[in-house]
Structure 1
Amino acid sequence: MRDLPAVRVVTDSTACLPGPGDPPTDSLLPAELAPVVVPLHVVTDDTDLREGVDVRAAEVAARIAEGERLTTSQPSTAEFTSVYGDLAAQGARAVVSVHLSGKLSGTAGTAERAGQRAMLPVRVVDSRTAAMGLGFAADEAARCAAAGCDASHVARRAAEVAASARTTFLVDSLDHLRRGGRLSAPAAALGTALGVRPILTLDDGAIELTQRVRTRRASVARLVGLALEQVRAASRPAVAVHHLGAPEQAAEVAAALADRLGFLPVVTPVSAVLGAHVGPGALAVVVVDRGGHVHDLEPGGPW
């Protein structure tokens, strides 16, 4: 068994990294080298649930479909402090903590406060993105950590990959984003006018309405087309497809992309917390550029 890296990477559950039951992928690190995931929370009228532990995306979709109103909350300072303490006890000498956009959540700020109390140095990176834009950034950072790079290098790598992320998505209703304060009321009204299907992006950490398409079928085709344009602009692209309650459509989008790309995108449900804000039927494609920065982490090879 190999020793753990001296620098450990932490992220949060909105990274949408594959979990049990998700399709296998060879494009991400194995579990023993993968980032440590701190769960955000889905809050009901009477329960506080940790996503990925107490609740998963499919249950969130079902609850919303039944008319239940859900809210979300970030991890507590104590939760981050506990994770950082555990990593120090395992022999880590530094932590790079990579998190959901600060424009969408206070998670990065809470990680920063916990890091100030930690028994080892903690560098916090506000990814200014979410979903696998965050997940790919954390994965690339963990590759650098596993190769023996220092915390400054690892944090810089996370920020580079996160900055390249292009996230495009569509939703069945903008009401969830509007109620959660993630999209302005005027933008939500514009996006639903005349029965159009809105296409949204996550731009510099904030959600923006960018296009309106007449039908769901046309919006899905546009989603694929935009992703292919983004892939062509990348030197070493990585691609993920997310959904909430639409696994068949996500699989169709992934297959359409794979047919043109020559590789299969990562396919995972959107995280439960993100799902509470986008609602059932959400479909997203994330493209990042991993660039030319490569570490040899083949099984049995050097770290």
Structure 2
Amino acid sequence: MPAAPGARGGVAVVTDSTASLPPEVLDVVDVAVVPLHVVIDGVAHRENVDLSPAGLLDALRSGARVTTSQPGAEAFARAYQRAVARGAREIVSVHLSGDLSGTVGAAGLAAGEAAVPVRVVDSRTVGMGLGLAVLAAAAAAARGLPGAEVAAAAARRSATSTVLFAVETLEHLRRGGRLGPVAAALGSVLGVRPVLGVDRGRIEVVEKARSAGRARARLVELALADAAARDRFDLAVHHLGDEAAGRALAEELRGACGPGLGRVHVAEISAVIGAHVGPGVLAVVVADA
């Protein structure tokens, strides 16, 4: 089991559950995770605590009303207090894009009241774009670097990340306010399946496709073109409730990538992100290694 965050008396690293870090990774890295909330028919659930992605899928398929909410500043205050109690002298708190959620703002409020210095990093991304930045921060902290350098490592990694994804429908993103009505109409009115991406912290349409199969193909082509422009890179593949599809996509990418490929992660997308993208999502994250 990994040491508790802050137990070594150096820099503790905190993130939120939208980082979508796989359980096998969380088992071996020194990171504290603050859960966001999924609200199903008016009842709030902490993702990965009270609600799994499988539970989210059941709710979506049953027609339940599903929304999401950020954790309050008190949730971050408790995480920071636990880190201090375990000996942390500094904290680096790395979170999903502030343009997609108020989570980073809540972390900032708690940071102002913490007993030790807290550096809050807006990753300007989400999913394993955030997760890989968190892993960079954890690695820097494990090397004994000071908080400023740990935060800089997270910011550098997130700045290199590309997040691309294709969904079965844009209705969930439109309903949740994460996609403008014109972009949503591309899918609902014209029958176009866009490939989406995170650009400067916001979800944007990268390319339009005429079918789900073509959208997946372009997802692969765009990710491989992005990877080919890098010397060394890591990949992550996200799915929601379809591990076979996620692993198949990961193997396809692994086979097509050149010698610059580092690690490949396959991770179920967090329930909060899943609530906004819906069943059938496939995503690829590319970031400098």
TM-score (norm 2): 0.93
SS in 1 for 2:120: strand
Q: Structure 1 residues 254-263 or 203-212, which shifts more? A: 254-263
Q: 1:217 aligns with which of 207, 213, 238?
A: 213
Picking from 169, 172, 178, the partner of 1:173 is 169
Shift of 1:32: 4.9
Provide the residue aligned with 1:7 in structure 2. 11
> What is the CA distance between 1:202 and its match in structure 2?
0.6
Structure 1 match to 2:276: 277
Runs of 4+ aligned residues of structure 1 deviating over 6 Å after TM superposition are: none
In the other structure, the counterpart of 1:286 is 285
Opposite residue 54 of structure 1, the aligned amino acid is D
Distance 1:194 1:78 in 2: 44
Q: Could you say which residue in structure 1 is the equivalent of 2:114?
A: 118
Cα deviations across residues 167-220 of structure 1 (Å, max 9, x unaligned)?
000111111101111001111112334322211011111000121112222211
Q: Which runs of 5+ in 2 are unaligned?
A: none
What's the CA shift for 1:5?
A: 5.1
Residues in 2 aligned to 1:219 and 1:264: alpha-carbon distance in whole angstroms: 25
Conserved? CA contact 1:127–1:162, under 8 Å: yes
Q: Is the 8 A contact 2:36 2:47 kept in 1?
A: yes
> In the alignment, does 2:81 pair up with 1:82?
no
Q: Deviations over 1:42-61 (max 9, x none)?
A: 11224211001110112111
Shift of 1:87: 0.4
Q: CA–CA distance in 2 between the matches of 1:31 and 1:121?
A: 26
The 8 Å contact of residues 123 and 155 in structure 2, kept in 1 or not, is answered as yes
Superposition deviation, residue 35 in structure 1: 1.7
Counterpart of 1:186, as a letter, is: V
Aligned length: 282
What amino acid is the match of 2:158? A
Match for residue 156 of structure 1 among 137, 152, 159: 152
Q: CA deviation at 1:126?
A: 0.3
SS at match of 1:108: helix
Instruction: Check whether the contact 2:96–2:125 (CA below 8 A) recurs between aligned residues.
Output: yes
Residue pair 1:33, 1:146 contacting (<8 A) in 2 also? no
What amino acid sits opposite 1:247 in the alignment? E
Question: Contact (CA 8 Å) 1:142, 1:154: kept in 2 or not?
Answer: yes
TM, length-normalised to structure 1: 0.89
Matched residue, 2:254 = 258
